Amino acid sequence: MKIVVGLGNPGAEYENTRHNTGRIMVGLIEKKLEGVKIKFITPDNFMNNSGKAVAPLIKTKKDLKDLVIIYDDIDLPLGKMKISFNRSSGGHNGLGSVIKALKSEEFLRIRIGISPSIPSGKIKKPKGEKAVIKFILGEYKKSELETLKKLSKKVALAVETIFTESKDKAMSLYN
């Protein structure tokens, strides 16, 4: 079974926060990929325990090839995405929880940018742990949610390409 998991936190207070970008994106692309045999999951546990929700879905190492995790990335500008495979968590606690629970990094992830950028494309990331936490738990502005909505078309095409053709093709087309 093909599985797409959107990482985030449950509850209304987190609904439109940057840290919920994975959940938001899954909600947007699920509508675009109706009819495609993919199971879309938004775990009901908190980000740092995401692995507990993902691990029961993956029975064998072979199942890893049919898993895509979508999550927020503070190192990418808002409106950009990056597909990666077999990489570390990069300090993302939700992804770290998934890697630990699966005992593997051999699965695809789609990182969704959440940082503002200046016209040159350089991102403006908050400095210091408290500022980062405040930023990622902060709510998106309406215009930022519109940017995510536009990006969802590209993300949906990437997911479809991953599952109908290959991860390599998706990475060459959408990275």
Active site residues: 19
* φ, ψ at 115 (rounded to 5°): -90, 145
Angle between helices 21-32 and 142-164 (to 10 degrees): 60
User: What is the token pair recorded at 87?
Assistant: 């990489």
Find where tokens 């691990």 sit: 55
CA distances from 120 to 21, 116, 137 (A): 24, 11, 26
| H or E element, residue 104 | none
Pairing of strands 67-77, 81-85: unpaired
How far apart are alpha carbons 118 and 99 in whole angstroms?
33
Residue identified by tokens 């699920």 is 30
